[in-house]
Amino acid sequence: MILMIGMAMIVSTSMLSMQDLEDTYNVPFKACVVEGNVASVMCSYNQINGKPSCADPTLLRDTIRSQWHLNGYIVSDCDSVGVLFEKQHYTRYPEDAAAATIKAGLDLDCGPFLAIHTDEAVRTGKVSELEINNALANTITVQMRLGMFDGPNGPYANLGPKDVCSPAHQQLALQAAREGIVLLKNIGRALPLSTQRHRTVAVIGPNSDATLTMIGNYAGVPCGYISPLQGISRYARTVHQQGCMGVACPGNQNFGLAEVAARHADATVLVMGLDQSIEAEAKDRVSLLLPGHQQDLISRVAMASKGPVVLVLMSGGPIDVTFAKNDPRVTAILWVGYPGQAGGAAIADVLFGAANPGGKLPMTWYPQDYVAQVSMANMDMRANPTKGYPGRTYRFYKGPTVFPFGAGFSYTRFSQHLVSAPITVSVPTLHSHLVSNNTTTLMKTKATLRTIHTNCESLDIDMHIDVKNIGDMDGTHTVLIFSTPPDPTETKQLVAFEKVHVVAGSKQRVKINMNACKHLSVADEYGVRRIYMGEHKIHVGDDLKHSITFQPSFEEIKV
Protein backbone atom coordinates (compact mmCIF):
# COMPACT_ATOMS: atom_id res chain seq x y z
CA MET A 1 0.00 0.00 0.00
CA ILE A 2 1.29 3.44 -0.86
CA LEU A 3 0.59 6.47 1.28
CA MET A 4 0.60 9.86 -0.40
CA ILE A 5 0.37 13.15 1.42
CA GLY A 6 0.79 16.77 0.38
CA MET A 7 2.70 18.80 2.90
CA ALA A 8 3.20 22.55 2.68
CA MET A 9 6.60 23.08 4.20
CA ILE A 10 6.69 25.57 7.08
CA VAL A 11 4.19 28.31 6.36
CA SER A 12 6.08 31.47 7.24
CA THR A 13 7.42 34.63 5.64
CA SER A 14 9.77 35.38 8.51
CA MET A 15 13.26 34.59 9.62
CA LEU A 16 13.44 31.24 11.37
CA SER A 17 16.27 30.06 13.57
CA MET A 18 18.00 26.78 12.87
CA GLN A 19 16.93 25.72 16.35
CA ASP A 20 13.23 26.31 15.68
CA LEU A 21 13.47 24.61 12.31
CA GLU A 22 15.03 21.49 13.82
CA ASP A 23 13.03 21.10 17.00
CA THR A 24 9.60 22.35 15.89
CA TYR A 25 8.83 23.15 12.27
CA ASN A 26 10.53 20.24 10.52
CA VAL A 27 9.52 17.62 13.09
CA PRO A 28 6.07 16.59 11.75
CA PHE A 29 7.27 16.54 8.15
CA LYS A 30 10.25 14.39 9.06
CA ALA A 31 7.94 11.95 10.86
CA CYS A 32 5.70 11.69 7.78
CA VAL A 33 8.64 10.96 5.49
CA VAL A 34 10.81 8.78 7.74
CA GLU A 35 8.15 6.93 9.75
CA GLY A 36 5.07 7.29 7.54
CA ASN A 37 6.92 6.55 4.29
CA VAL A 38 4.87 9.10 2.35
CA ALA A 39 5.31 9.17 -1.40
CA SER A 40 4.96 12.92 -1.92
CA VAL A 41 5.91 16.15 -0.18
CA MET A 42 4.58 19.55 -1.23
CA CYS A 43 6.45 22.85 -0.99
CA SER A 44 4.34 25.98 -0.78
CA TYR A 45 4.29 29.71 -1.54
CA ASN A 46 6.11 30.73 1.60
CA GLN A 47 9.65 31.95 1.94
CA ILE A 48 11.92 30.62 4.66
CA ASN A 49 14.67 33.04 5.60
CA GLY A 50 14.24 34.89 2.33
CA LYS A 51 14.17 31.89 0.02
CA PRO A 52 11.00 30.40 -1.53
CA SER A 53 10.48 26.89 -0.19
CA CYS A 54 10.09 25.49 -3.73
CA ALA A 55 13.52 26.87 -4.65
CA ASP A 56 15.33 25.96 -1.44
CA PRO A 57 17.86 23.14 -2.01
CA THR A 58 18.61 22.96 1.73
CA LEU A 59 15.01 21.92 2.38
CA LEU A 60 14.14 19.93 -0.72
CA ARG A 61 17.36 18.29 -1.91
CA ASP A 62 19.53 18.18 1.21
CA THR A 63 16.93 17.61 3.93
CA ILE A 64 13.89 15.86 2.45
CA ARG A 65 15.62 13.85 -0.24
CA SER A 66 19.11 13.21 1.18
CA GLN A 67 18.67 13.20 4.98
CA TRP A 68 15.13 11.87 5.24
CA HIS A 69 15.40 9.65 2.14
CA LEU A 70 12.06 10.50 0.56
CA ASN A 71 11.01 7.60 -1.66
CA GLY A 72 8.81 9.56 -4.02
CA TYR A 73 8.45 13.00 -5.58
CA ILE A 74 8.33 16.63 -4.44
CA VAL A 75 5.51 18.72 -5.91
CA SER A 76 4.75 22.43 -5.69
CA ASP A 77 1.60 23.85 -4.22
CA CYS A 78 -0.49 25.01 -7.16
CA ASP A 79 1.14 27.98 -8.92
CA SER A 80 3.90 28.30 -6.29
CA VAL A 81 6.61 28.45 -8.97
CA GLY A 82 4.71 31.16 -10.82
CA VAL A 83 4.25 33.08 -7.58
CA LEU A 84 7.95 33.08 -6.71
CA PHE A 85 8.69 34.65 -10.10
CA GLU A 86 5.68 36.88 -10.74
CA LYS A 87 4.82 38.02 -7.20
CA GLN A 88 7.98 37.56 -5.16
CA HIS A 89 10.38 38.49 -8.00
CA TYR A 90 12.87 35.91 -6.80
CA THR A 91 14.48 35.61 -10.25
CA ARG A 92 14.88 38.03 -13.15
CA TYR A 93 13.72 35.68 -15.89
CA PRO A 94 11.08 32.93 -15.84
CA GLU A 95 13.52 30.28 -17.05
CA ASP A 96 15.72 31.12 -14.06
CA ALA A 97 12.80 30.33 -11.75
CA ALA A 98 12.23 27.03 -13.56
CA ALA A 99 15.90 26.14 -13.24
CA ALA A 100 16.13 27.20 -9.60
CA THR A 101 13.22 24.99 -8.52
CA ILE A 102 14.32 21.90 -10.45
CA LYS A 103 17.90 22.26 -9.21
CA ALA A 104 16.58 22.65 -5.65
CA GLY A 105 14.83 19.29 -5.91
CA LEU A 106 11.34 20.03 -7.22
CA ASP A 107 10.06 17.16 -9.38
CA LEU A 108 6.57 18.25 -10.39
CA ASP A 109 4.81 21.59 -10.80
CA CYS A 110 1.13 21.94 -9.95
CA GLY A 111 0.46 24.55 -12.58
CA PRO A 112 1.68 25.48 -16.07
CA PHE A 113 4.88 27.37 -15.20
CA LEU A 114 7.43 24.59 -15.64
CA ALA A 115 5.69 23.27 -18.73
CA ILE A 116 6.03 26.69 -20.34
CA HIS A 117 9.52 27.74 -19.25
CA THR A 118 11.62 24.60 -18.63
CA ASP A 119 12.47 24.14 -22.30
CA GLU A 120 14.11 27.58 -22.40
CA ALA A 121 15.98 26.80 -19.17
CA VAL A 122 17.42 23.66 -20.78
CA ARG A 123 18.18 25.41 -24.08
CA THR A 124 20.14 28.15 -22.32
CA GLY A 125 22.01 25.67 -20.12
CA LYS A 126 20.49 26.85 -16.85
CA VAL A 127 19.31 23.35 -16.03
CA SER A 128 20.59 20.09 -17.46
CA GLU A 129 18.69 17.35 -19.23
CA LEU A 130 19.95 14.94 -16.57
CA GLU A 131 18.29 17.03 -13.85
CA ILE A 132 15.05 16.95 -15.83
CA ASN A 133 15.31 13.17 -16.19
CA ASN A 134 15.89 12.74 -12.46
CA ALA A 135 12.76 14.74 -11.65
CA LEU A 136 10.81 12.75 -14.24
CA ALA A 137 12.05 9.46 -12.78
CA ASN A 138 10.94 10.41 -9.28
CA THR A 139 7.46 11.20 -10.55
CA ILE A 140 7.00 8.25 -12.92
CA THR A 141 8.29 5.79 -10.31
CA VAL A 142 5.41 6.68 -8.01
CA GLN A 143 2.96 6.39 -10.90
CA MET A 144 4.29 2.90 -11.55
CA ARG A 145 3.85 1.97 -7.91
CA LEU A 146 0.25 3.13 -8.21
CA GLY A 147 -0.31 0.87 -11.22
CA MET A 148 -1.03 3.75 -13.58
CA PHE A 149 0.71 1.95 -16.45
CA ASP A 150 -0.95 -1.42 -15.80
CA GLY A 151 -4.03 -0.76 -17.90
CA PRO A 152 -7.62 -1.54 -16.88
CA ASN A 153 -6.57 -4.44 -14.67
CA GLY A 154 -4.37 -2.37 -12.35
CA PRO A 155 -5.04 -2.64 -8.59
CA TYR A 156 -6.50 0.88 -8.37
CA ALA A 157 -8.01 1.21 -11.85
CA ASN A 158 -11.65 0.57 -11.00
CA LEU A 159 -12.13 2.08 -7.57
CA GLY A 160 -15.42 3.87 -7.01
CA PRO A 161 -18.05 4.82 -4.41
CA LYS A 162 -18.70 1.16 -3.59
CA ASP A 163 -15.12 0.85 -2.35
CA VAL A 164 -15.12 4.11 -0.41
CA CYS A 165 -18.58 3.69 1.08
CA SER A 166 -18.26 0.09 2.25
CA PRO A 167 -19.74 -0.68 5.70
CA ALA A 168 -16.25 -1.08 7.13
CA HIS A 169 -15.17 2.34 5.89
CA GLN A 170 -18.31 4.02 7.15
CA GLN A 171 -17.79 2.42 10.54
CA LEU A 172 -14.23 3.74 10.48
CA ALA A 173 -15.54 7.25 9.84
CA LEU A 174 -17.76 6.91 12.90
CA GLN A 175 -14.93 5.54 15.02
CA ALA A 176 -12.59 8.34 13.98
CA ALA A 177 -15.20 10.96 14.84
CA ARG A 178 -15.84 9.41 18.24
CA GLU A 179 -12.14 9.19 19.08
CA GLY A 180 -11.54 12.80 18.06
CA ILE A 181 -14.08 14.27 20.50
CA VAL A 182 -12.56 16.02 23.53
CA LEU A 183 -14.49 16.47 26.79
CA LEU A 184 -13.29 19.79 28.25
CA LYS A 185 -15.82 20.32 31.06
CA ASN A 186 -18.30 18.08 32.87
CA ILE A 187 -19.71 19.56 36.08
CA GLY A 188 -21.28 17.04 38.41
CA ARG A 189 -21.14 14.35 35.74
CA ALA A 190 -23.76 16.15 33.69
CA LEU A 191 -22.74 13.87 30.85
CA PRO A 192 -23.62 11.35 29.70
CA LEU A 193 -27.26 12.22 29.28
CA SER A 194 -29.91 9.63 30.09
CA THR A 195 -32.53 8.42 27.63
CA GLN A 196 -34.84 7.97 30.63
CA ARG A 197 -34.37 11.40 32.26
CA HIS A 198 -33.66 13.46 29.14
CA ARG A 199 -36.48 12.46 26.85
CA THR A 200 -36.70 15.87 25.15
CA VAL A 201 -33.55 17.68 24.04
CA ALA A 202 -33.38 21.22 22.69
CA VAL A 203 -30.81 21.27 19.88
CA ILE A 204 -29.73 24.84 19.24
CA GLY A 205 -27.05 26.70 17.31
CA PRO A 206 -25.80 27.52 13.81
CA ASN A 207 -23.99 24.15 13.56
CA SER A 208 -26.83 22.13 15.09
CA ASP A 209 -27.93 20.68 11.74
CA ALA A 210 -24.54 21.01 10.04
CA THR A 211 -23.58 18.71 7.19
CA LEU A 212 -20.96 20.20 4.85
CA THR A 213 -19.40 22.14 7.75
CA MET A 214 -18.44 18.84 9.41
CA ILE A 215 -16.24 17.87 6.46
CA GLY A 216 -13.83 20.80 6.77
CA ASN A 217 -11.85 21.17 3.55
CA TYR A 218 -9.66 19.10 1.23
CA ALA A 219 -11.99 16.13 1.50
CA GLY A 220 -13.56 13.72 -0.92
CA VAL A 221 -17.27 13.30 -1.53
CA PRO A 222 -18.97 11.99 1.63
CA CYS A 223 -21.02 8.82 1.46
CA GLY A 224 -23.75 10.66 3.35
CA TYR A 225 -24.19 12.96 6.32
CA ILE A 226 -25.49 12.49 9.84
CA SER A 227 -25.90 15.94 11.38
CA PRO A 228 -25.87 16.56 15.15
CA LEU A 229 -29.63 17.07 15.09
CA GLN A 230 -30.15 13.76 13.27
CA GLY A 231 -27.79 11.96 15.62
CA ILE A 232 -29.45 13.26 18.77
CA SER A 233 -32.89 12.42 17.31
CA ARG A 234 -31.92 8.74 17.51
CA TYR A 235 -31.82 9.01 21.31
CA ALA A 236 -34.48 11.57 22.24
CA ARG A 237 -37.28 13.76 20.95
CA THR A 238 -35.68 16.96 19.68
CA VAL A 239 -36.78 20.58 19.53
CA HIS A 240 -34.64 22.44 17.03
CA GLN A 241 -33.82 26.14 16.83
CA GLN A 242 -30.80 27.58 15.02
CA GLY A 243 -30.78 30.76 17.10
CA CYS A 244 -28.30 32.36 14.68
CA MET A 245 -28.27 32.97 10.96
CA GLY A 246 -25.04 31.07 10.29
CA VAL A 247 -21.90 31.02 12.42
CA ALA A 248 -21.42 34.77 11.82
CA CYS A 249 -24.50 35.20 14.04
CA PRO A 250 -25.06 38.86 13.08
CA GLY A 251 -28.19 39.42 15.20
CA ASN A 252 -30.27 38.15 18.10
CA GLN A 253 -33.68 38.15 16.42
CA ASN A 254 -34.20 34.39 16.96
CA PHE A 255 -32.78 34.14 20.48
CA GLY A 256 -36.26 34.17 22.02
CA LEU A 257 -37.32 31.01 20.20
CA ALA A 258 -34.11 29.29 21.32
CA GLU A 259 -34.77 30.28 24.94
CA VAL A 260 -38.31 28.91 24.77
CA ALA A 261 -37.01 25.60 23.39
CA ALA A 262 -34.45 25.31 26.19
CA ARG A 263 -36.99 26.23 28.85
CA HIS A 264 -39.26 23.34 27.86
CA ALA A 265 -36.64 20.63 27.24
CA ASP A 266 -35.07 18.16 29.65
CA ALA A 267 -31.60 19.01 28.34
CA THR A 268 -30.09 21.52 25.95
CA VAL A 269 -27.31 20.96 23.42
CA LEU A 270 -25.80 24.08 21.85
CA VAL A 271 -23.81 23.27 18.70
CA MET A 272 -21.74 26.37 18.03
CA GLY A 273 -18.31 27.31 16.69
CA LEU A 274 -16.87 28.08 13.27
CA ASP A 275 -16.90 26.99 9.65
CA GLN A 276 -14.98 27.81 6.47
CA SER A 277 -16.50 31.28 6.28
CA ILE A 278 -14.39 32.05 9.37
CA GLU A 279 -11.32 29.82 9.00
CA ALA A 280 -10.07 28.37 5.73
CA GLU A 281 -7.24 28.58 3.25
CA ALA A 282 -6.76 32.26 2.34
CA LYS A 283 -9.07 33.27 5.20
CA ASP A 284 -7.24 33.95 8.46
CA ARG A 285 -9.11 34.41 11.71
CA VAL A 286 -8.78 37.81 13.32
CA SER A 287 -10.12 36.82 16.74
CA LEU A 288 -10.12 33.86 19.10
CA LEU A 289 -13.64 34.69 20.30
CA LEU A 290 -16.83 33.16 18.96
CA PRO A 291 -18.14 35.16 16.00
CA GLY A 292 -20.96 37.69 16.24
CA HIS A 293 -23.54 37.14 18.96
CA GLN A 294 -22.78 33.45 19.60
CA GLN A 295 -21.56 34.09 23.15
CA ASP A 296 -24.73 35.98 24.02
CA LEU A 297 -26.87 33.17 22.60
CA ILE A 298 -25.07 30.59 24.72
CA SER A 299 -25.41 32.63 27.91
CA ARG A 300 -29.08 33.44 27.38
CA VAL A 301 -30.01 29.84 26.52
CA ALA A 302 -28.04 28.52 29.50
CA MET A 303 -29.93 30.89 31.79
CA ALA A 304 -33.27 29.79 30.35
CA SER A 305 -32.64 26.04 30.33
CA LYS A 306 -34.20 23.92 33.04
CA GLY A 307 -31.87 20.96 32.46
CA PRO A 308 -28.17 20.39 31.78
CA VAL A 309 -26.60 22.58 29.09
CA VAL A 310 -23.95 21.07 26.82
CA LEU A 311 -21.83 23.30 24.59
CA VAL A 312 -20.52 21.48 21.50
CA LEU A 313 -17.85 23.38 19.56
CA MET A 314 -16.97 22.75 15.92
CA SER A 315 -13.72 24.37 14.81
CA GLY A 316 -10.29 23.62 13.46
CA GLY A 317 -8.47 25.89 15.89
CA PRO A 318 -8.79 27.12 19.47
CA ILE A 319 -11.62 29.35 20.68
CA ASP A 320 -11.62 31.54 23.77
CA VAL A 321 -14.73 30.31 25.59
CA THR A 322 -13.60 31.43 29.05
CA PHE A 323 -17.12 32.73 29.71
CA ALA A 324 -18.61 29.24 29.20
CA LYS A 325 -15.81 27.53 31.10
CA ASN A 326 -16.57 29.74 34.11
CA ASP A 327 -20.38 29.67 33.79
CA PRO A 328 -21.81 26.97 36.11
CA ARG A 329 -24.98 26.88 34.02
CA VAL A 330 -22.94 25.53 31.10
CA THR A 331 -22.49 22.09 32.59
CA ALA A 332 -20.39 20.45 29.87
CA ILE A 333 -18.20 21.43 26.92
CA LEU A 334 -17.20 19.19 24.01
CA TRP A 335 -14.78 20.08 21.23
CA VAL A 336 -15.40 17.95 18.15
CA GLY A 337 -13.17 19.59 15.50
CA TYR A 338 -14.73 19.06 12.08
CA PRO A 339 -15.82 15.47 12.68
CA GLY A 340 -16.63 14.28 9.17
CA GLN A 341 -19.65 12.60 7.61
CA ALA A 342 -20.59 10.62 10.75
CA GLY A 343 -19.92 13.54 13.08
CA GLY A 344 -23.51 13.94 14.22
CA ALA A 345 -23.79 10.25 15.11
CA ALA A 346 -20.51 10.40 17.03
CA ILE A 347 -21.58 13.51 18.95
CA ALA A 348 -24.86 11.88 19.93
CA ASP A 349 -23.12 8.65 20.94
CA VAL A 350 -20.84 10.59 23.28
CA LEU A 351 -23.66 12.75 24.65
CA PHE A 352 -25.69 9.70 25.63
CA GLY A 353 -22.80 7.48 26.75
CA ALA A 354 -22.79 4.95 23.91
CA ALA A 355 -19.19 6.08 23.44
CA ASN A 356 -16.84 7.30 26.15
CA PRO A 357 -14.77 10.34 25.06
CA GLY A 358 -11.01 9.85 25.23
CA GLY A 359 -9.64 12.61 23.01
CA LYS A 360 -6.96 15.09 24.09
CA LEU A 361 -6.52 18.66 22.89
CA PRO A 362 -3.80 18.76 20.22
CA MET A 363 -3.14 22.47 20.74
CA THR A 364 -3.15 25.14 23.44
CA TRP A 365 -6.31 27.22 23.65
CA TYR A 366 -5.13 30.78 24.27
CA PRO A 367 -7.13 33.69 25.70
CA GLN A 368 -8.13 36.48 23.32
CA ASP A 369 -5.47 38.90 24.59
CA TYR A 370 -2.77 36.50 23.33
CA VAL A 371 -3.55 37.71 19.79
CA ALA A 372 -2.39 41.22 20.60
CA GLN A 373 0.95 39.91 21.90
CA VAL A 374 1.86 37.78 18.89
CA SER A 375 2.66 39.17 15.47
CA MET A 376 1.79 36.71 12.74
CA ALA A 377 5.05 37.75 11.06
CA ASN A 378 7.01 36.40 14.03
CA MET A 379 7.40 32.66 13.84
CA ASP A 380 9.78 32.38 16.82
CA MET A 381 8.80 29.58 19.17
CA ARG A 382 10.64 30.77 22.26
CA ALA A 383 9.42 33.63 24.42
CA ASN A 384 11.25 36.95 24.44
CA PRO A 385 10.20 38.80 27.63
CA THR A 386 12.27 41.89 26.78
CA LYS A 387 10.10 42.43 23.69
CA GLY A 388 6.87 41.29 25.30
CA TYR A 389 6.72 38.22 23.07
CA PRO A 390 5.04 35.34 24.95
CA GLY A 391 6.21 32.40 22.84
CA ARG A 392 4.17 29.71 21.13
CA THR A 393 2.73 26.33 22.15
CA TYR A 394 2.66 24.65 25.54
CA ARG A 395 6.45 24.27 25.44
CA PHE A 396 7.29 27.95 25.41
CA TYR A 397 4.14 29.89 26.31
CA LYS A 398 3.69 30.00 30.09
CA GLY A 399 0.82 32.45 30.35
CA PRO A 400 -2.83 31.75 31.19
CA THR A 401 -4.77 29.37 28.97
CA VAL A 402 -8.43 28.67 28.31
CA PHE A 403 -7.62 24.96 28.05
CA PRO A 404 -4.09 23.53 28.00
CA PHE A 405 -2.53 21.23 25.43
CA GLY A 406 -3.42 17.62 26.27
CA ALA A 407 -6.63 18.48 28.14
CA GLY A 408 -9.48 16.01 27.96
CA PHE A 409 -11.68 14.16 30.45
CA SER A 410 -13.43 10.81 30.37
CA TYR A 411 -16.65 9.46 31.84
CA THR A 412 -14.52 7.12 33.92
CA ARG A 413 -11.33 7.55 35.97
CA PHE A 414 -7.88 6.09 35.43
CA SER A 415 -4.82 5.59 37.60
CA GLN A 416 -1.27 5.08 36.35
CA HIS A 417 1.51 3.10 38.00
CA LEU A 418 5.11 2.93 36.82
CA VAL A 419 6.11 -0.72 36.72
CA SER A 420 9.63 -0.43 35.33
CA ALA A 421 11.96 2.12 33.76
CA PRO A 422 15.71 2.59 33.78
CA ILE A 423 17.30 4.86 36.36
CA THR A 424 20.58 5.39 34.54
CA VAL A 425 21.55 5.16 30.89
CA SER A 426 25.13 4.93 29.67
CA VAL A 427 25.71 6.96 26.54
CA PRO A 428 28.64 5.63 24.48
CA THR A 429 30.93 8.27 23.05
CA LEU A 430 33.46 8.56 20.29
CA HIS A 431 36.35 8.51 22.75
CA SER A 432 38.87 10.18 20.50
CA HIS A 433 36.61 13.24 20.21
CA LEU A 434 35.31 13.31 23.77
CA VAL A 435 36.99 16.53 24.76
CA SER A 436 36.65 18.19 21.38
CA ASN A 437 34.52 21.31 21.24
CA ASN A 438 32.94 19.85 18.10
CA THR A 439 31.55 16.93 20.08
CA THR A 440 30.81 18.03 23.61
CA THR A 441 30.27 21.41 25.12
CA LEU A 442 29.26 22.96 28.40
CA MET A 443 25.89 24.62 28.29
CA LYS A 444 24.76 26.09 31.59
CA THR A 445 27.24 23.79 33.36
CA LYS A 446 25.67 20.71 31.80
CA ALA A 447 27.66 18.54 29.38
CA THR A 448 26.02 17.60 26.09
CA LEU A 449 26.88 15.11 23.41
CA ARG A 450 26.00 15.39 19.75
CA THR A 451 23.71 12.59 18.67
CA ILE A 452 25.95 11.94 15.66
CA HIS A 453 28.78 11.14 18.09
CA THR A 454 27.06 8.29 19.89
CA ASN A 455 25.49 4.97 18.99
CA CYS A 456 21.81 5.87 18.83
CA GLU A 457 20.74 2.28 18.13
CA SER A 458 21.92 1.28 21.61
CA LEU A 459 19.94 4.02 23.36
CA ASP A 460 16.42 2.60 23.32
CA ILE A 461 14.57 3.14 26.60
CA ASP A 462 11.56 1.05 27.62
CA MET A 463 9.00 2.09 30.21
CA HIS A 464 6.19 -0.17 31.43
CA ILE A 465 3.13 1.53 32.91
CA ASP A 466 0.01 -0.07 34.35
CA VAL A 467 -3.19 1.82 33.53
CA LYS A 468 -6.15 0.91 35.73
CA ASN A 469 -9.74 1.90 35.08
CA ILE A 470 -11.01 2.77 38.58
CA GLY A 471 -14.37 4.03 37.36
CA ASP A 472 -17.59 2.31 36.33
CA MET A 473 -17.43 2.63 32.54
CA ASP A 474 -15.14 1.15 29.90
CA GLY A 475 -12.90 3.81 28.41
CA THR A 476 -9.82 4.76 26.46
CA HIS A 477 -6.86 6.43 28.12
CA THR A 478 -3.89 8.12 26.47
CA VAL A 479 -0.61 7.83 28.34
CA LEU A 480 1.31 11.07 27.75
CA ILE A 481 5.06 11.04 28.40
CA PHE A 482 6.81 14.39 28.84
CA SER A 483 10.51 15.01 29.41
CA THR A 484 12.45 17.90 30.94
CA PRO A 485 16.24 17.97 30.28
CA PRO A 486 18.72 18.92 33.01
CA ASP A 487 19.24 22.45 31.71
CA PRO A 488 16.82 24.87 33.44
CA THR A 489 16.45 26.91 30.23
CA GLU A 490 14.92 23.92 28.45
CA THR A 491 11.19 23.22 28.75
CA LYS A 492 9.01 20.18 29.23
CA GLN A 493 7.85 18.59 26.00
CA LEU A 494 5.80 15.61 24.89
CA VAL A 495 8.12 12.81 23.79
CA ALA A 496 5.82 9.76 23.55
CA PHE A 497 2.20 8.71 23.90
CA GLU A 498 0.18 5.52 23.74
CA LYS A 499 -3.59 4.99 23.70
CA VAL A 500 -5.06 2.01 25.54
CA HIS A 501 -8.64 0.76 26.03
CA VAL A 502 -9.35 -0.42 29.55
CA VAL A 503 -12.48 -2.22 30.74
CA ALA A 504 -13.99 -0.85 33.96
CA GLY A 505 -12.32 -2.36 37.02
CA SER A 506 -9.42 -3.86 35.05
CA LYS A 507 -5.93 -2.73 34.10
CA GLN A 508 -3.71 -2.83 31.04
CA ARG A 509 0.07 -2.69 30.87
CA VAL A 510 1.42 -0.17 28.37
CA LYS A 511 4.92 -0.35 26.93
CA ILE A 512 6.46 2.96 25.94
CA ASN A 513 9.55 2.81 23.78
CA MET A 514 11.75 5.89 23.48
CA ASN A 515 15.11 6.51 21.93
CA ALA A 516 17.45 8.95 23.64
CA CYS A 517 18.67 10.44 20.35
CA LYS A 518 15.23 10.89 18.86
CA HIS A 519 13.04 11.70 21.86
CA LEU A 520 15.27 13.00 24.65
CA SER A 521 17.72 15.16 22.72
CA VAL A 522 17.43 18.91 22.21
CA ALA A 523 18.42 21.17 19.33
CA ASP A 524 21.02 23.81 20.03
CA GLU A 525 21.08 27.26 18.44
CA TYR A 526 22.69 25.82 15.31
CA GLY A 527 20.02 23.15 14.91
CA VAL A 528 22.39 20.39 16.10
CA ARG A 529 20.81 17.60 18.12
CA ARG A 530 22.47 17.03 21.51
CA ILE A 531 21.84 14.77 24.49
CA TYR A 532 22.27 16.34 27.90
CA MET A 533 24.23 14.34 30.41
CA GLY A 534 22.61 14.34 33.85
CA GLU A 535 19.12 13.90 35.26
CA HIS A 536 16.19 13.96 32.85
CA LYS A 537 12.80 14.31 34.52
CA ILE A 538 10.13 12.09 32.99
CA HIS A 539 6.50 13.02 33.59
CA VAL A 540 3.74 10.48 32.97
CA GLY A 541 0.74 12.74 32.65
CA ASP A 542 0.41 15.19 35.54
CA ASP A 543 0.77 12.91 38.53
CA LEU A 544 3.59 10.40 37.91
CA LYS A 545 7.27 11.35 37.81
CA HIS A 546 10.50 9.46 37.24
CA SER A 547 14.14 10.43 36.69
CA ILE A 548 16.62 8.96 34.22
CA THR A 549 20.26 9.97 34.52
CA PHE A 550 22.40 9.93 31.39
CA GLN A 551 26.06 9.19 31.96
CA PRO A 552 28.80 9.26 29.30
CA SER A 553 30.45 5.92 28.69
CA PHE A 554 34.14 6.10 27.84
CA GLU A 555 34.02 2.83 25.93
CA GLU A 556 34.95 3.83 22.43
CA ILE A 557 32.43 3.21 19.69
CA LYS A 558 33.73 1.01 16.92
CA VAL A 559 33.42 2.78 13.61
pLDDT-derived band at 365, boundaries 50, 70, 90: very high
Give me the chain's average pLDDT, please: 92
CA-CA-CA-CA dihedral for 57, 25, 274, 267, to nearest 10: 150
* Residue 201 neighbours by CB under 8 Å, 6+ apart: 193, 232, 235, 236, 237, 238, 239, 265, 266, 267, 268, 269
Q: What is the pLDDT of residue 193?
A: 98
Q: What is the pLDDT of residue 556?
A: 55
Q: In three state form, how does the secondary structure of 503-556 look?
A: CCCCEEEEEEEEEHHHHCCEECCCCCEEEECEEEEEEECCCEEEEEEEEEEEEE
Please name every residue paired with 425 in a beta bridge, in sequence order, or none if there are none. Answer: 550
Catalytic residues: 77
What 3-state DSSP class applies to 231? helix
Of 215 and 376, the structure prediction assigns the larger pLDDT to 215
Is the preceding peptide bond at 390 cis, omega within 30 degrees of 0? no
Instruction: With a cut of 80, say whether residue 1 has pLDDT above it.
Output: no
Tell me which amino acid residue 105 is.
Answer: G
Q: What is the pLDDT of residue 14?
A: 65
Question: How do 332-335 and 309-314 pair as beta strands?
Answer: parallel
Instruction: With a cut of 90, say whether residue 13 has pLDDT above it.
Output: no
Q: What is the pLDDT of residue 377?
A: 84
H helices present in 10-165, as ranges: 18-20, 27-34, 80-86, 94-104, 113-123, 129-145, 161-164
The 10s digit of each residue's pLDDT in 256-294 is: 999 999 999 999 999 999 999 999 988 889 899 999 999
Which range has the worst mean pLDDT, 60-74, 336-350, 541-555? 541-555
CB-based burial label for 236 (10 Å; 0-12, 13-18, 19+): buried
The span from the CA of 150 to the CA of 156, in Å, is: 10
Calculate mean pLDDT across residues 46-58: 94
- Verdict on whether the full-model pTM lies above 0.85: yes
The 10s digit of each residue's pLDDT in 134-189 is: 999 999 999 999 999 998 888 888 889 999 999 999 999 999 999 999 999 999 99
The span from the CA of 538 to the CA of 398, in Å, is: 19
Please report how many Cα atoms fall inside a 13 Å half-sphere around the Cα of residue 424, on the Cβ side: 5
Q: Are 31 and 25 in contact (CB under 8 A)?
A: no
Q: What is the pLDDT of residue 440?
A: 44
Which range has the worst mean pLDDT, 280-284, 425-429, 523-527? 280-284
